Every structure is written in structure tokens, then in C-alpha cells.
Structure 1
Amino acid sequence: MNENKINFLDVIGKNTGKTKEDEAIEKAQHPEENITNCPYNVCDGSGMIRLKNENGATCVDFCQCYEDTVLRQKLVNANISLDFLNEDFSFDDGKTRVSILKPKLVEDELKIKKKNQTKQEALIEEDPNLFIKRHFSIKEETRTPGEIFKSYSEKNSELMTKNKKPANLLLFGDSGNGKTSFACLIGSFFLQKNKKVYFSNTEKFLNSIYDKKVDVKEISTKYDVLILDEFFAEYHTDSKWAKTKLKEILKMRDELKLITICTSNGNPKEFSLLYGQAIMSLLKGTFFHFYLERDGDGRIEKMQNTFEEFGF
């Protein structure tokens, strides 16, 4: 055999053509032909590193730039912003606080304040904070959000590995307090664990089902982690189609031991009035409720930094 000719063979001797590993070895044999564009200045830009083991045999390892490329494509496929490519839970700036709401086994009685007032009328007039106190016990966390969501993600990953039911998550609070960012960080965590993740605005998600662009069963069961952003802001009609589909999706995913994460600018009282008892039972029975609050608007803070970067 000609020593200068490189054959690319699989384990049974059939010519299969060049693999990425083969190309990396070939480039390493001719470094003068390579153009280095590895951001870490480790590999030749191929994403592969040529190494030799103790026996002198050549092997190939993945460079960090290759891992970044894989994660970048996973984020694109998951519909998650590439802003989260190099971010982890340590990005937390410490300005957001988290309160954990634990549902009471028996909710406190609703107070009727007006004569002849119906229970529904009293519920509509009830202060949202009083509603929360009637239905939940509240624990103000001393850990940072980053620490909380890292712990949540790691525990769920452990449960999924053991084929045990994970816990869903509902993040609610005012705009600009990091709900979507933390949800996306959790999504990125699971992508790096080779789980299937998908992020979508809730209304767009429901519209894709309504327009028959996707099958509700397929889209609901395909992903290990489904992130529904702006939950509660979706459009509802008298037919109650959206509520029916949401109930179907949440119930199906819970039965299949799949994680659902929702973010919302609404609050439990508003959820109760809109969705009714059936969906509220699912939310209280299968979701952690985390209330996020922040001094100031995180989006505006980022924009202030952008002004400084541009020198404005």
C-alpha cells in the first residue's frame, strides 16, 4: 500500500469517505495549509485536536470551539437566543429575589365583604396578595436565583436519569425581572445534557396547533423540556379552545414525566379566574410557583449599558 495515500475505512473495511476526525488528522499533517480560526487558539479551526496516547497511537479529541458550535446549533433548534451560548447560572447579578409559593392542602376561606355578594364577585374583587396568602404558604429564599435554578435543574436531571417524575416550574412576576432569561438558562442546561428542549411564546405555540402546522400530540411529547413564555397572555375565545388545549398539553406532559416551564406576568389570582379549577389543579399540583421581583427593570438596565457602549 502506498504510504502517502490515506484510506478512510470503517471497522469492517468498507471505504466510507472522510469523517471529521479524518479531516482533522489530515489537516494536522499539513499545518502550513491550515487557517486557524479557533477562538481559543487550541485547534486548527476544525474543532478537533490531534493527540497521541501512551502507545503512540493517534487519537482525536473535541476542542471547546467544537462544543460551542454544537451548543449554538442546539440553541437555534430549541428557539433559544444565542445570547445564552456562553452563559450559565453564575450570570445572576443578585438584584432579583425569589419567593417560593407552596400550595396549602386546604385553602383559607374567601371572605364575603358585601351583602348578597356572590363568591365569584368576591373573588374578582379580592386583592391578588390576599388570594396568594389564602392558597399558598410563602417562603422567601435566601439563595440567589442562580443558585436556586441550578439546584432545580440538577435535581430534575437526576430524576430524569432515574426515569422519575421531574417537577415543572411556573415563574411569575412583573416584566423585566429575569423570568425568561432564567427559563432559557435552564433550557441551555438541559441542552448540554443532550435533552430535547423547545422555547416558544405561548400564543404562537397554540396558534401553530390551531393552524394545524404541528400535531398537538407530537409537539407536546417530543421535547424533554418545553418552555412556554408569556403564559396567560394568549388569546381566549368563548369556545374555550385555548384552555382545552393547554389542559391537554400540561396533563399529557405530566403523565409522560416531561418538564414544562412557564413564565408569566400574571399572578395566581388571575390564573384562577381565567383558567378555572381544572387547570389550577394541574398548576398547583405539578408546578413549583416562584415569584420573582426586582428593584428596577432588567431590560432598561441592559439598555443603559448599551448607551454607554455606544458612547451616547
Structure 2
Amino acid sequence: MVKQIGKGRYGEVWMGKWRGERVAVKVFFTTEEDSWFRETEIYQTFLMRHDNILGFIAADIKGTGSWTQLYLITDYHENGSLYDYLKSNTLDVNAVLKLAYTSVSGLCHLHTEIHGTQGKPAIAHRDLKSKNVLVKKNGTCCIADLGLAVKFNSGTNEVDIPPNLRVGTKRYMPPEVLDESLNRTYFQSFIMADMYSFGLIVWEMTRRCSSGGMVEDYQLPYYDLVPTDPSYEDMRKVVCFKKQRPAFANRWGSDECLRQIGKVMSECWAHNPASRLSALRVKKTLAKMLDSQDIKPSHSDT
């Protein structure tokens, strides 16, 4: 273990060295064993490997009788999370499209069931936010933090929900989670909840995109509508009752590309889950926009 690089409610993240390479080591508190187990199980799902999902290396439990440490070892990305990256970088349109396209590609892979003798179940993330998306050296993203993920077994039509009670991050919760109307037996409802959170992440990216010499400072979604550490009540008032959503900067309207991205995020965070765009739909739309910018997503990004 070389140095601590992050801390969350589940434990700490360290940068470590393994066989001469840098790796990220997530150390879970013993109280978070369910999250460790869930995340390990999801990463080890067959056909889970994807360029835009954080690369899993190993999981381990170390300890003596009274003292235990739960490790999850993954690829290391020095840019850190999208949240850190956006705070310290301004972007051009191509960079935003690349970040958004690769994030949704990872999400799309997660959401998709792959049929076959050793297929992959459809998986919903349930805690999507800019702190759980990492930025690689080449400006593409990968999705991390799968400790709350839900799997769908289409054979038995069962939704496999992890036992831990932690349900995600209030600020990014869709209206149906905040008002507790989400149907937990219908897997698709978890997929649509992810898409709402994804819309908010795209809004965070777009604020940091300069156009006409202007750019907004980095802010979390709803920064101007709720306190720093909002309660369920704060979020419910804004999202469910007033049906407010993050505001668009005026300048987005005068840039064709930002206007289109704005349309995508609005259709992701629609109040009615059934009218939200799917990850595949968003992926196709962004791929088309990248093409029109004359930037083909390189082979490794697709």
C-alpha cells in the first residue's frame, strides 16, 4: 500500500503497487462486508469485463481473529473520479461528448443481458454519481462502485437485491426512489432510476464545457436548491413536489451541440420513469454527435 487517495462511507481507497504496477485498493470497513461481497460478486460476473467498467483485479480478506480487512483491488486511474476531474478541468465539446459517450457505454454494458450458456445478467447500478465514475488517462470514463448493484435473473424472473440497506446518494435519487413508489419487483424500474442519475452527471459535465469563451464553475446537481448535505425531505420537496431539475445556462441555447446534449439530459431525468431514454438510445445519440464532430470513437472506446 503506497498512499491513501480517497475515503467514503464504505472505507478508504489506497494507491498500491502490485507486480511493479500501480493499482487501486478499496479497503472496506468490517461493517460494510455486504457491500464488499456484492461488489466482488458483480465484478466476477461472467462477461463483465468492458473498457468502460472499472477493471477488477482481485478481492481478498486479510485479518486475524479480531481484526479483518476486506480488500477490493482494481485498475488505478490517476485522474480520479469524474467529480475530481470536473472540478479541476474545463472541457471542449469533444471532451464532453467523449466523457458522456464512454460513461453511457459502460452503463449500457451493465444494463444489457447477454444470452448464452455463460451469459451475463442485466445489472442496474443504483448509486450512479460523478464520484462513482472514473476518468482514464485518455479522457474516457469507466463506471465504478458496484456495491449496491441489482442483478436480474431472466430465467426465474427474479430481481436479486443486495441485503445492505444503504440505498445510494440522496442528491442523485430519482423521484420514484425519494417518494418510495419504485416497484422493487420490476427490474426495469432500477434501470430507469439509473438513467435519471445519469442525466444529472451529464449536466455536471456540460457546465464545465466552454462555449463562446464562457464556462460555469463546477457544482453538484441541485447545488442552488438544497443544502450541502440534503435530507430526504429537502430532495423530495424539490424533485417530487416542485418537479424542479438543474437549470441550463443561457449560453447552452446558442451552441447547437450543447443544446442537443441538454435535450438528452432532460429526457434522462423525466419525471415519469417510462419516458426516460435507455442507455442504448443515449449511446447511439452521442455516437452520432461524435461523428458529426468528425471524431470517431476510437476502437477501444466502443
Shorter-chain TM band: under 0.3
Compare CA radii of gyration and give the structure with the larger one.
Answer: 1
Higher relative contact order (CA 8 A, sep 6+): 1
TM-score, structure 1 normalization: 0.20
